[in-house]
Structures are given as structure tokens and as C-alpha cells.
Amino acid sequence: MLHLGLIAALLAAHFLLPAYHHGNLARVMVLASYALAYNLLFGYTGLLSLGHALFFAAGLYGMGMGVQHLGLGAGAGLMLGIASGAVVSALVAALALRTSGVAFMIVTLMFAQAGFLTILHFGEWTRGDEGFVLAQAGRVLWGMDLSAPGTRYLAALVLFSICLLLSLALVRAPFGRVLVAIRENEERVRMLGYDTQAHRFAAMVASGTMAAVAGAVYGMLFGYVGATFASVQYSILPLLWVLLGGAGTVLGPFIGTLFMFYLIDLSSGLTTAYMLIAGVALVGLTLFAPQGIMGEVRRRFWRGLP
Amino acid sequence: MEFGPHLMLATLEGAVTAAVLALTAAGLSLVFGVMRVVNIAHGEFFMLGAVLAWWVTQAVAGPWGFALALVVAPLLVGALAVAADVTILKRLSYDPERTIVATIGLLYILQQLTLMTYGPDARPVVAPFNARIALPWLERGPDGWALTWPWGLGITTWKLTVIGAAGAVLCALWLFLARTRVGLVMRATQADREMATAFGVPVERVYALTFGLGAGMAALAAVLIVPIQQAHYLMGADPLLLSFIVVIIGGLGSLPGTLLAAVLIGLSDGIISVFFSPTLAKILATLLVALVLVFRPQGLFGARGR
């Protein structure tokens, strides 16, 4: 109910918001889908990845390169982006899941860094740091121009709703409950006869693929593909959003993304050093509110919050 | 220049990289070994060292200014690190995953505060002495072997000093750990924290000291390298990545392994960067790290079963 309410509210916002916030909210919804993907792995399975930018960028570049160099249409480009995200996340998961804890964090960080550097290395095709702007023709899906603000907002809303409802379904399904159990006590889950390694693998591939979907759609809607999206900063941001909103809650990632986006938006008017806010928020959150906003709500008001 | 002299030049440049890297990585390794904390903000301590060196040399001109910077920068950065340890890390009770998130936050805070005060420019610091020494090369001429002086083959006295100073500081660190009472207490804490507490070791003070010492070493390395590289607020990223690579390949928390790996990585980085592209060198190194962590978590030189 609550989740359908949020989607309805976002749909209503489409008709009510002024243009500037309308555009911002479209962006926030795509980024929140990325955060939802991150939350699947971090919030529910308890695996802290520092390399999700790799998956986001796999979707972004899979789509962008397909449209730019292979001359694919928007639909095929999105498919290619999603497929490359699935392949990359399966590869990384197969290797990185052999480690755990701090080593897992560093391995994912290193893979993402290698991916980022690879994008820079092949600057001839990827245009490196500068990035490239998608041709207008490549951004038309089923006759809808995704670069127009109206359709862009609705497309972002569709993506966000799918990711939100998918997360909700996944968490309520037996599969999701096993993931939470792995987070809480892996030994016991293994003793009960579950293959924890396979569950982790599936969670990481699902999370990576969802991140790739967000990346591909982001590139499609905003028409820009650049190496910044593969940098460490874009691995840290979803962690920040999820921590702020509340890890292991379905609504948390959206709340966190919205809050952080406007915090940075407001502060960038005051100073160029807007990442300072991100740093302060990270330190403050780990010190004072490791549960995040929705985590606090769950603790204080509503224990059954999914 | 022909291949032989070119290789020698690459090796010399690599040796300078290796010396600075060994200092930086030894600091990171010390912190990880004793405290089990992965300090993502280590590169920013390095950057602060370089920036402070610029401030000090601006305030006090001449070679004495640089000598003062060599003392002041590591001390100030060390003090800052001690303060960060007491206010942040201690309150997280050194939980590995939460400290990583907190040090990521610290990274952004330090980096962005530097951007706000020092500005986005790269600024040079002049070395106290910087004479150029041309190096001879043995070559087979028309009348037998002869010494030639190929154009471009040479090294500056400052680079030699950097290598020497790094060696001296590392020897001092080894003596400090092996022969002094404080070093003994540090090693005891590394071996078994709870037992050390039971024997009355003030573990929290040891941790604060270790964190300060590690950061101070990074700052010292930065002051040594800043006449060769310029001081810039984003300069911390590369040393951080390279130190990680070194510490992991050398075996987490093992000082001799770290030194060996620093020489290996420094030299190969220099050589690969000269003959191929620097980005390719970094891609290979990051992938190597990820694979080492996956398949040989004790590091290439670490002992099994730790």
C-alpha cells in the first residue's frame, strides 16, 4: 500500500511540479533505482560492495556504445546494456564472492577501478573523461522521444516502479528471506541446508543487473555517457544514499537519494566543494545513525516496515 | 635513446616511485597490521603533507623552509590523524566495515576542505638542491667498448636524496618497532589485542599513536616527492591506489612484504609506464591485486595460515 502510494504521489507530482524540480525528480528516480539495486546486496544480503559503479557503467556503456558505434536502436541498446551488466556482474561475483568482509570490499573496489581505467584507456571509442552525447535518433523508443521532459519523467517513473516492486517482491519471497538470514547468521543458514554461496551469487547478479538497468536508462534519458559514472565516486554514492535512507528497507534508498540530491543541489549554490557534504554525511551516519532514516522509523514507529 | 639507456632511465624513475611508495605503503600497512583498520583516507594524508609543504615553503623561503616542512608537515598531519582516531574511529570501536565507510567520509572532508582553502591549482615546491648528474652508458663502438654519455640519461641529486631518505626512514621505523619499548607494545597489540589489554597495554593510546604515525609517514613521503610532483588537492588518489596494491600484494600487515612489494610495483610501474601507457600499467596492477586477494589472500609474500 505504502509503496503504491509513493508511486501514485510521484505520478501526481508529474502534473504539479515546476519544470526545474520535475527534471530533478526524474533524475532522482533513476538514481534511486540504482540505490535500490545496491540495497539488494548491501541492505538485504549484508555484502558491502565498493564497486557498483562498474555495473552502473556496464549498463551505461553497453547501451551507449551500442547506440553510438553499432547503430542500434534505443530498445536494442537498452537490452545490450542490461546484458553487459549481467555478464560483468556474474564475472565479478564469481571471483569476488570467494572473499568476504574487508577483502570483498577491496576486491570490488579494485575491479571497479580496473573498469574505470579500461574506459579511460580506450578513450578513442569511449571519449574517456569527456564522454559523449547520445545522438537524438538513438533516444526514441517505440515512437516516444525520451529526451522530452514529459516522457522522460514518466519513463523514469516506470523504471523506478519496476525496481521498487521487484525489490519488494524479492524481499517477501522465500529467496529474499534467505538473503536476510544470510546477513544475520550465515553459519546457521548453511546448517539448515541452504546453499549460501549460490544465494549470494544470485543476489549479486540481480543487484548488478538492476544497477546496469539504471545505468542504461540514465544514459538513455539524459543522453550523456561519460567515464565519471564509472569512477569511485559513483560506487560511494549509492552506499551513501542507502545508508542515509536506511539499509534493508525498501523505501530507504529513494528517501536517501532524494534527500542527498537536494542537499548537494542546495550546497552547490554556496560552494564548489559540494562533496564535503557527502563526507560529513558519511562520517555522521556511521557515528550517530547507522540505521538511516527509514531504519529509525522502523525502530521507533512501525516494526513491520518492509 | 636506445633500449638499454632507456631501460636504465625507467629503472631509476621507478626507484624513486618505489622509495616514496614504500614509505606511504608502510604507513598504511602499519595501520592495518596493528589496528585492523583499512584507511581509505590515507591518500588524503599524503596530499595534506604536500600541501602543507607548500604553505611552509611559502612562509619560510630557502632551504630552511623545506627542512622545516619536512618536520612540520608530518607532525601536523600526524596530529590531525590522532584527532580523527579519537573522535571518529574510537567511537566506532574499530569495526572494520564501519571504519571503511567513515574513512571514505574523512577522505571527502579532507579533500574538499583543501579545495576550499588551497584551491584547485597545482603548485610547485622548489627542492633545496637539484643538480643534474649525467650518467654514463657502456657502449660498443667501432673501437671496442667505450663509455658514452647518452643525451637524456641522468638523474638529479634530489631524486637520489629521496631514495636515500626513504631508506633511512624505513630503517628507523624498523629499529623503532624492533628495539624500542613503544614498538614492542605496538607489536604486542598487533599480535593479540585482548591479551595486550589484559597485560595493561593502553590499547587506545597505542591505536591513536599508530594512526598518527601511519599518517605522518604518508605526509613525509609527500614532502619528499613534492619537488618532483606538484601539490594538488586531488593528488591523493594515485598513492592510495598504489599503496593498496603494495600492501595487499606484500601481505596485509606484513612490513617486510610491503617493502618488497613496493620495490617490485614501483619498478615495474616505472618500466611499464615508460614503454607502454601508464593507464595500462594501472589496469594490470589493479587486476593483479583483485586476483591476489581472491586466490592468495595472505599476499604473495605472506606466510600461510594467518
pLDDT tens-place string over residues B11-26? 888 888 888 888 898 8
CA count, 13 A, side-chain hemisphere, A242? 29
Question: Which residues 6+ apart lie within 8 Å of A2 measured at CB?
Answer: A251
Asked if residue B3 has pLDDT above 80, the reply is no
What is the domain-level CATH number for residue B234?
1.10.3470
B144 located within any domain: no
Question: What is the C-alpha separation between A64 and A67, in angstroms, rounded?
Answer: 5
B140 located within any domain: no
Asked if residue A14 has pLDDT above 60, the reply is yes
Task: List the single best residue of B248, B293, B306 to mutate versus A (max A Cβ within 10 A).
Answer: B293
Any alpha helices (H) in chain A, and if so which ranges? 2-16, 19-39, 52-69, 74-96, 101-121, 123-126, 149-172, 174-184, 186-191, 196-222, 232-245, 252-267, 275-288, 292-300
B304 located within any domain: no
Residues in chain B with CB shorter than 8 Å from the CB of A243 are 101
- The number of C-beta contacts closer than 8 angstroms across A and B is 116
Interface contact flag, A273 B115, Cβ < 8 Å: yes
Q: B292 to chain A nearest CA, in Å?
A: 9
The total number of structural domains in chain B stands at 1
- Which residue bears the cell 548537494? A264
Q: Give the range of the structural domain holding residue B17, as residue numbers without chain letter.
A: 3-124+154-295
Asked if residue A74 has pLDDT above 80, the reply is no
Taking CA atoms, A73 is separated from A66, A87, A147, A165, in Å, by 8, 21, 14, 27
Residues in chain B with CB shorter than 8 Å from the CB of A290 are 98
Interface contact flag, B280 A103, Cβ < 8 Å: no
Give the residue-averaged pLDDT of A213-217: 86
Give the pLDDT band of residue A306 (cuts 50, 70, 90): low
Nearest to A110 among B96, B110, B290 (CB): B290
Residue type, B69: A
Nearest to A110 among B38, B115, B286 (CB): B286
Q: B255 to chain A nearest CA, in Å?
A: 19
Residue A234 and residue A228 in contact, taking contact as beta carbons nearer than 8 Å = yes
Interface contact flag, B97 A96, Cβ < 8 Å: no
Give the residue-averaged pLDDT of B216-237: 86
pLDDT of residue A270: 67
pLDDT of residue B207: 87
Most confident of A5-14, A142-151, B245-254: B245-254
Q: B245 to chain A nearest CA, in Å?
A: 9
Question: What is the C-alpha separation between B16 and B158, in angstroms, rounded?
Answer: 10
Asked if residue B305 has pLDDT above 60, the reply is no
Question: What is the C-alpha separation between A7 and B61, in angstroms, rounded?
Answer: 64
Task: Inform me whether the C-beta atom of residue A19 falls under 8 Å from chain B C-beta atoms.
Answer: no
pLDDT of residue A158: 81
pLDDT tens per residue across span A167-212: 888 888 887 777 778 787 777 877 777 777 788 888 888 888 888 8
Interface contact flag, A276 B38, Cβ < 8 Å: no
Give the pLDDT band of residue B125 (cuts 50, 70, 90): confident
Q: What is the DSSP letter of A249?
A: -
Give the residue-averaged pLDDT of B252-260: 78
Asked if residue B304 has pLDDT above 60, the reply is no
Chain A residue with minimum CA distance to B98: A286
